Every structure is written in C-alpha cells, then in structure tokens.
Amino acid sequence: MPGEYQRFTKETFAFLQDLKKHNKKVWMDANRKRYQQVLVRPLRRLLEEISQSILTIDERFEVSGRRNFSRINRDTRFAKDKTPYRAQMYLKFCVPIPGGHDSGELYVGLSTDTVTVGFRIYSGSSRKESALALIASPRLAQNPKWISSQKKKLGKRYQSYWYATQKGEWRKQEGWPTRPEDWKGIRGWIVRKKLKTSAALKTEFPRELSKAFRELYPLLQFTGLAD
C-alpha cells in the first residue's frame, strides 16, 4: 500500500532520544504508534531493500524477518539497568547452523546518536560448543596470519575489539585479536564502523550497507560457517 512503509527520518532518532529519556512502559504505550511508524516500518523497508543483495553474498542468510530484528524490550531479570526498553534497534543477518549454535552475524544498528554497521560473533553460554571454538580456532591454527591479513584490509575503515574472560567476567580488549593466545579464551569479536545518523537518511544507505556487508562477510565465513 502506498505510504505503508517509509525510510528513516530525523523522527527516527528523535523517538530513540525520547525513549531513552522517558524509559517507562506508560510512555511507550502512549507512543506505540509512533514507534511503529518511525522505527519498525523503516527497518522492515530496509530489510526488503537489501535482502536480494544479502542473498547474493550467501544464499543461506535468513531474510524472512523471523530472526532479523532485535527486540526493543529489555530482559531485566539479570541486568543492572532495569529500564524496560533499549534505546536502539538492530537489523541483523545470520546463517542458521545445525545445533542452534551462533554463527555470528552482520548487522546495522540505530541508536540515539549513531548508526553502527558491523560483524559480530559471540561464544554464548558454552565456549567449547561455540563456532569460535569449533570453527574459528582450528582454522586459525592452520592459518595464524589470517586475522592480521584482515586487519590490513579493513583496519583503516573498521574498529575491532573482542572479549575474554578474566576471573569469570567478560573483559573488553581493544584492537584485533591477532595473537594465537588471544583465541584460547575469546568469548566475542566485533568489527564495526560508526556513522552519523544522517547516513541513514540518504537514499544510498541500503547500497552502502550492502557494500559494507560484502567487505565484512569473510570474517563471518571464516569464524562461524563450516563451509
């Protein structure tokens, strides 16, 4: 239907800023229609626009919408931050793998003042059963210079950081995990770049995302996909 979907506008980020300021259920209930109009519908429009491009990268990517959108509701049971909503949303693309393990994902995220485009992979609750342990680590043992080669290709355009456990807690490590010892206990790896919110308002935004996803796909393929 004409006008059913729209692109992102300045109102998208105004809504996220207001949500961060008034992060309560009563406010969200009163602004539910606004949430759908300026955030949810543009995200679905974006999925429609780039799905075919994503499938040309890897036809196994999930693009049905069932797993492509992050939840704006926060699970507060174990969180220090008890606010009920996240002031950001993500459109993400992953390749389902047997056993329900996390293969990693390519993503674009919108927050109050930033647009983020990147790749990320986490170990989940069991590192021994994760793609990081079962796929990435053996490949790096055979090709220990692979991370360094990706840093050379992408390092000027993308920021890299990773997580390792220290005394049972996740600790953020800046930079590229290029050393073999980095991968013995790695729990997550993120490679991303931050854009101004104005980037999402431009007509070429879907094309720029597709370009970034093509650049980042080898990271996903190497660390999380068996073939």
Residue 4's pLDDT band (boundaries 50, 70, 90)? Answer: very low
- Spatial contact of 36 and 44, defined as CB atoms under 8 Å apart: no
- Region of 129 (left: φ > 0; alpha: ψ -120 to 50; beta: rest) is alpha
Q: What is the pLDDT of residues 160-208, one digit of tens each?
A: 999 998 777 889 999 999 998 888 889 999 999 999 999 999 999 999 9
Range of the domain at 212: 10-224
- Residue 92: φ, ψ to 5°: -135, 155
Pick from 12, 19, 22, 18: which is nearest to 43 by CA? Answer: 12
Residue 121 belongs to a domain with what CATH number?
A: 3.30.930
For residue 1, being part of any structural domain is answered with no
For residue 3, being part of any structural domain is answered with no
Q: What is the pLDDT of residues 109-139, one digit of tens each?
A: 999 999 999 999 998 777 888 889 889 999 9
SS (H, E, C) 34-93: HHHHHHHHHHHHHHHHHHHHHHHHCCCCCCCCCCCECCCECCCCCCCCCCCECCCEEEEE
For residue 202, being part of any structural domain is answered with yes
SS (H, E, C) 139-152: HHHHCCCHHHHHHH
Q: How many CB atoms lie under 10 A from the CB of residue 7?
A: 16
Pick from 8, 18, 11: which is nearest to 43 by CA? Answer: 8
Count: domains in the chain: 1
Angle at 94 between CA 93 and CA 100, to 5 degrees: 145
Could you tell me the two tokens for 16? 């996220």
pLDDT value at residue 129: 81
DSSP 93-112: E----GGG----EEEEEE-S
- Spatial contact of 67 and 41, defined as CB atoms under 8 Å apart: no
Residue 76's pLDDT band (boundaries 50, 70, 90)? Answer: confident
